[in-house]
Amino acid sequence: MTGENGKTKYFSLMEQLKNDILSGRIKPGEKLMSENELSETFQVSRHTVRKALSILTNEGYVTAQHGRGTFCSERMGHQKKSRNIAVITTYISDYIFPRLIQGIDKVLTANGYSIMLKNTGNSRGNEAKVLEDILTKDIDGLIIEPSKSQILCRHMNLYGMLDEYEIPYVFIQGLYPQMEDKPHILMDDCMGGYLLTKYLLDTGHVHIAGVFKADDSQGKERHKGYVKALNEAGIPYDPDMVIWFHTEDRKSKPVLMVERMVTQKIPLDAVVSYNDQIALEVIKTLRKRNVQVPRDVSVTGYDNSIISENGLVPLTTIAHPQEKLGEMAAELLLEQIRKVPPEESRVERLIKPELIIRESTKQKI
């Protein structure tokens, strides 16, 4: 049987009870209503109630005590001093994350902490599930790269629970619009986009396309820097020269739109790419159309990953000190755990970008 929302009744009941636990309406150690009371309150059968409670038991939200009833798990109270730190990234295998994790682990291990590593695949739904999961575990803090950080966060209640449980957290590589006051370590991506575009302008490029990610704050900031450099050079901003893509179409849209620019013979002498991965795909696409890099079109990347040095053409890019970022995030989180006042913090919050010039760009005659 399904309810009005299309979900099975036991699943809807399970979600309602889980939300009550996560929101604090049902507190750690508190006894839940009896099966009969739940059945009457939610107008469902006792069989439906048992299935819902069974899921919550398996997931660690509730415990059944023979002869006494069902209770909210004491684990939801979060014992302190667990020496566990949760680290949530969008991807684990992606090209910049191994060194980022290495930096985090270096600092935390030296201070007696262990890492609990999770990833979201840059999905906000997955992020909510991961946060729900760690809220059932004993952790002393959290380092998180937000998923699709340019879009408003839809699970603020889960961050509210972290605040209520006094579990400190630090954002890296992005920040939700509603949470700009929370502790964070970011790259100055606006300056990075500016440095790349200004370098192209200074070397004689005029028709500069930009490829940026629309659903994270890094893409917005890099685009902002691109626009700033064009404005300073007196070149009008042309939205038709900007390609926006989302997480879901990152493997198809950038190359499709660059190929369209070439086939439509739109004047093009440079491309500012969102990152090194996109830059590599842009170069492959241009080569398919017999457009040579950098002879015909200059291409820049971002992140100074292994791709930037060992790809088809060594990339002009922006250095991304991945390991340093991880170390800074871990140090900032330790300050939060130790309740160091913000004015006494020794950790910088914004990393300055560095332009690295290689063979994917050239001076225009």
User: Where does the pLDDT of residue 1 fall: very low under 50, low under 70, confident under 90, or very high at 90 and above?
Assistant: very low
Instruction: Give the three-class secondary structure for 235.
Output: coil
Contact between 359 and 314 under an 8 Å Cβ cutoff? The reply is yes
User: Where does the pLDDT of residue 75 fall: very low under 50, low under 70, confident under 90, or very high at 90 and above?
Assistant: low
Mean pLDDT of 221-250: 97
Q: What backbone phi and psi angles, to 5 degrees, belong to 171?
A: -85, 145
pLDDT at 78 over 80: no
Higher pLDDT, 93 or 243: 243
Q: Average pLDDT, whole number, for the chain?
A: 92
Mean pLDDT of 235-248: 96
Share of the chain above pLDDT 90, in %: 77
Q: What is the pLDDT of residues 292-335, one digit of tens each?
A: 999 999 999 999 988 898 888 999 999 989 899 999 999 999 99
Per-residue tokens: 293:
């890099």
Instruction: Give the three-class secondary structure for 329.
Output: helix
- For residues 87-113, one letter each, b for 16 or more C-beta atoms within 10 angstroms of the residue's C-beta and e for the rest, the string is bbbbeeebbbbebbbebbbebbeeeeb
Higher pLDDT, 220 or 97: 220
> 322 to each of 79, 104, 106, 147, 194, how far by Cα in Å?
32, 10, 13, 18, 20
pLDDT at 244 over 60: yes
pLDDT at 6 over 70: no
pTM over 0.85: no
pLDDT at 3 over 60: no
Q: What is the pLDDT of residues 31-68, one digit of tens each?
A: 999 999 999 999 999 999 999 999 998 888 899 888 89
Mean pLDDT of 158-181: 92
Q: Alpha-carbon distance 365 to 71, whole Å?
A: 75
Go through the domains of the chain in sequence order and give each one's CATH number: 8-70 (1.10.10.10), 82-186+321-349 (3.40.50.2300), 187-319 (3.40.50.2300)
pLDDT at 98 over 90: no
Residue 299 makes CB contacts below 8 A (sequence gap 6+) with 270, 271, 273, 279, 282, 283, 286, 293, 313, 315, 316, 360, 361
Q: What is the pLDDT of residues 341-361, one digit of tens each?
A: 888 999 999 999 999 999 999
pLDDT of residue 291: 96
Q: Alpha-carbon distance 74 to 14, whole Å?
A: 18
Per-residue tokens: 246:
């989302």
User: Where does the pLDDT of residue 126 fall: very low under 50, low under 70, confident under 90, or very high at 90 and above?
Assistant: very high
